[in-house]
Structure 1
């Protein structure tokens, strides 16, 4: 019987250099998409997928992330005294009571594969999800309770087959991403993975979106994975080794994603989420229309 997925590893140790100068003193994961930090959307996505244990692989400069999910007695007391009960409720529900959040430090920036390996002692011998906090799945284009990460978890729980989320990109963009190749006789069985290949070496234009469901064996493989692209230990290289013993499926993203580690992607996410915001959407739409008229 397959062990069920109840743990997600979220690597948050990166320095956010693509978002400087905004990230000089603020973790990129704490940058707001409208009125909620990016990392909160990511944790909510995991929780909606049935995940109840979150492991942050973090850095000494990222304490604000853990603080965001911790109790803030002084703030809550102040809101209660000022009868700001709606805001108080929002603050108190940032971390559901049945969600456990742990953290482990990544002492050296050796790549995504190394970051995942840092969580080995907490993951133990269990399958787990890897969720990259740079990538925001557009919640307004899909139902998180039924699609994407939730569906990937359900598929693994039912069949025990590792899952990798993918979406197509322009071939001119493949060198920016991990790319997945599929078996010619299947629309989901993975037969190749390459990290940031030149276009003439790319097995397809299916880019890895930043959501993985992996067995515990990947951690043992990572311990012996040599340095790869960018002089880093690449998770894609370890998954390619896993392919020799496991069938792996590509899960095709429903809806669209935003690369919020990139300024253009981050701006696009803010526009989309602001337009759909339940209380601010109409005001923002009018402001945006006026700005476009005057530009």
Structure 2
């Protein structure tokens, strides 16, 4: 009997050191991309893909995430009193967006450990993992594309994109062969973390979207700690390959690395230009600059 992907896990316990000093007191997931925190883009993607429950793995100093998705009585009362109906609707839309649950990762021990923290809330179901740092702009939400593939294959799916040249060394890279039935699928046989260009087994880099079967929890519990004393999700997926099929999926869309300062700047420009309320003004401003 097939099971639907109903739940999405958002690991959000990291320190965000690449954005210091801004992230000294503000979670990196709450940094604004135009006028929305980056984690909200991922939550909206999960909802658009059909997910019914969102599980956010938080840590110390991350209460602003919970506050963002909660009701703000004082703010709403003030907006209502001042007749700010559009802003009031916007605030309520965020707080009524989705069913959320939070689990605490007391110590930052890696992505695999963060996913393992959600085990009791996931149960015996396939589930999605979305890394908030990766903001993907796509006509059909990236996660929706992946869930459609999962429904056909009933196998774990890893989002990938092709990366050329030395930049491949910044990614986990898939080893395997193209699938004969679907040019967007890649039959995964192994993974290499941040290889040198000469050692990269393919151009297929892993991006921050996963659909995983519940078998991953059992394997993560048995997986020894890896680099930096952390539990690596890729090590758990490698173990999963011994018992289950795993596919890479080349999604349609543009991925923005919002966990990097330059990537965040590029994403801000791209998203601002697409906005009906500011796109044209912003475009004219950019044209006026002496670059």
Q: TM-score, normalised by structure 1?
A: 0.93
Higher mean displacement: 272-281 or 171-180:
171-180
Q: Does 1:143 align with 2:143?
A: no
**Is the contact made by 2:166 and 2:196 (CA closer than 8 Å) also made in structure 1?**
no
Change (3 A) 1:3 1:246: same
Q: Which residue of 1 aligns with 2:254?
A: 256
Q: Which residue of 1 aligns with 2:133?
A: 134
Change (3 A) 1:225 1:78: same
Give the secondary structure class of the aligned counterpart of 1:104.
Answer: strand
Equivalent pairs, count: 287
Q: Which residue of 1 aligns with 2:112?
A: 113
Q: Which residue of 1 aligns with 2:36?
A: 36
Higher mean displacement: 248-257 or 41-50:
248-257
Give the secondary structure class of the aligned counterpart of 2:222.
Answer: coil
Q: Which residue of 2 aligns with 1:6?
A: 6
- Measure, in 1, the Cα distance between the counterparts of 2:65 and 2:11: 12
- Measure, in 1, the Cα distance between the counterparts of 2:229 and 2:199: 19
User: 5+ residue gaps in structure 1?
Assistant: none
User: CA offsets per residue over residues 198-224 of structure 1, 9 Å max, x none?
Assistant: 333321121111100000000110011
Give the CA RMSD over aligned residues: 1.5
**Is the contact made by 2:145 and 2:251 (CA closer than 8 Å) also made in structure 1?**
no
State the shift of 1:185 in Å: 6.0
Q: Which residue of 2 aligns with 1:80?
A: 80
User: CA offsets per residue over residues 154-184 of structure 1, 9 Å max, x none?
Assistant: 2223431111100011231222111112226
**Is the contact made by 1:113 and 1:234 (CA closer than 8 Å) also made in structure 2?**
yes
- Measure, in 2, the Cα distance between the counterparts of 1:189 and 1:79: 53
User: 5+ residue gaps in structure 2?
Assistant: none
Q: TM-score, normalised by structure 2?
A: 0.94
**Is the contact made by 2:178 and 2:186 (CA closer than 8 Å) also made in structure 1?**
no
User: CA offsets per residue over residues 123-161 of structure 1, 9 Å max, x none?
Assistant: 11111101001000014xx232xxx21021122234311
What does 1:218-229 align with in structure 2 at a 5 Å threshold? 218-229=216-227
**Is the contact made by 1:195 and 1:229 (CA closer than 8 Å) also made in structure 2?**
no
**Is the contact made by 2:69 and 2:95 (CA closer than 8 Å) also made in structure 1?**
yes
Give the secondary structure class of the aligned counterpart of 1:122.
Answer: helix
What does 1:49-88 align with in structure 2 at a 5 Å threshold? 49-88=49-88
State the shift of 1:50 in Å: 0.4
